Amino acid sequence: MQPYPIKLTYHVRSYYFGERAIPDRLGKRGAPEGRVAETWEVSDYRDAPATVKNGPYAGKKLHDLVEDAPDEFVGEGWRGQHFPLLEKFLDASHMLPVHLHADDETARRVHGEPHGKTEAWHILWAAEGATILAGVKEGVGRDELFEAFRAERYDDVMPRYPIRAGDTVYVPGGVMHSFGPDALVFEVQQTSDLGQFVTPTGLYGERLDDATWEGNINAALDELRVDYRPHPSPGLVLGDGANRRVVCAAGPYFALERWTLAEPRTEPSHPHRCLTLSNVGGSVSIEYAGGVEVLDRAESCVLPASIGEVRVVPDEAGSSASSLVACYVPDLERDVVAPLREAGYSDGEIRALGEVGV
């Protein structure tokens, strides 16, 4: 393939919990009028496929690149049914429904899907008092959970934690969760849209009848994982000169980093994995062997595995700091554990990033 920074069309979801934070606060261009709860920035999901919008592959589906050149685009030796990451900006102006997503085993056994949905939320903005609900309290049984969910008393059975900008929350499949109100989030996840909800309304605010609602609660409890309790994490800083690089979350499906750039950053060649960049600050230029591509605020791109070394240059004329969210499918030992140990972090600190296995 011809490697260059691949920009994609985005898909909008107008769920009840969103308002206008993505276009108004984040600066997303081209967003439609009305509610913009989510913009799917990188998606190879079946009912929201992204299309390339720049360069020689303009007009091709993301899936076509994945299928035609898995080694060059996704990473040497990679094989799969679709691009492994789904990434989105998410506006939680209102509290999200309390819900969970299937893990891999449940996705295959119950839903006939290839895998479930582990995710991580990186908080871009949060008002004072914004919180998450995540996991269930120790010792709470199924009957107590059912009664609490039926009475909408979520705090009786779920821990609640405050969040602030810069926090990241790693949420494995099977873990009950919600967040908001008044938060703006970048989310990375496995490519899946499976979900089980315990709240009495659907994603567009419609009220469910009691039989459907109770059936949903029972279905969620059938898929519930109780041994993992997510916490907001500030991440672990790796030395990067005048720039700031924070490893925010990591697990077998993805790693998420936040880069804040005061000067150009050189990203080395890594043919074993591609890299996605989502710009949440001032515009940057991405210099690569074949040329230069500008990534504006609230834009995202995929750097193919075969692109080689790239240089990310902040726009000095910009009115805001250059800051990006970077995601990739890691070799955990090589890409995450080894550099963090070398920087002096303990295994306990590294484990707090997610499911790292140290």
If one counts the domains in the chain, the total is: 2
Tell which of 199, 222, 245 closes a domain.
Answer: 222
Alpha carbons 153 and 301: distance in angstroms, whole number: 41
Q: Would you place residue 149 in the very low, low, confident or very high pLDDT band (cuts 50, 70, 90)? A: very high
Span 203-215, pLDDT tens digits: 999 999 999 999 9
Q: What is the DSSP letter of 7?
A: E
pLDDT 10s digits, 113-144: 999 999 999 999 999 999 999 999 999 999 99
- Report if residue 309 sits inside a domain: yes
Contact 293, 269 (CB under 8 A): no
**For range 284-288, the mean pLDDT:** 98
Is residue 289 domain-shared with residue 206, that is, in the same domain?
no
Same domain, 186 and 245: no
Considering the domain boundaries, does residue 41 fall inside one?
A: yes
Is the domain of 216 the same as that of 277? Answer: no
Residues 161, 288 share a domain: no
Q: Are residues 77 and 211 in the same domain?
A: yes
Query: Residue 78 pLDDT > 60, yes or no?
Result: yes
Mean pLDDT of 272-280: 98
Answer whether residue 356 is part of any domain. Answer: no
Q: Is residue 227 included in any domain, yes or no?
A: no
Same domain assignment for residues 277 and 328:
yes
pLDDT at 319: 46
235 Cβ contact partners less than 8 Å away, ≥ 6 residues apart: 166, 168, 246, 247, 248, 249, 258, 353
**213, 255: one domain:** no
Are 218 and 276 members of one domain?
no
Same domain, 172 and 265: no
Range of the domain at 122: 6-222
Residues 212 and 258 in one domain: no
| pLDDT at residue 239 is higher than 90 | no
218 and 240 part of one domain: no
Inter-residue long-range contacts of 314-320, CB under 8 Å, 24+ positions, other chains counted: 314/261, 314/262, 314/263, 314/264, 314/282, 314/284, 315/282, 315/283, 315/284, 315/285, 318/281, 318/282, 318/283, 319/282, 320/281, 320/282
Would you state the pLDDT for residue 317?
A: 54
Residue 231 lies in a domain: no
> What's the pLDDT score for residue 315?
87
Q: Is the pLDDT of residue 318 over 70?
A: no
**Adjacency order of strands within the sheet including 177-179:** 160-162, 131-134, 177-179, 99-100, 196-197
**Tell me, what's the pLDDT at 320?**
59
CATH number of the domain to which 216 belongs: 2.60.120.10
252 and 195 in one domain? no
Judge whether 358 lies within some domain. Answer: no
Our measurement of the distance from residue 355's CA atom to the centroid of its chain's CA atoms, rounded to an integer in Å, reads: 15
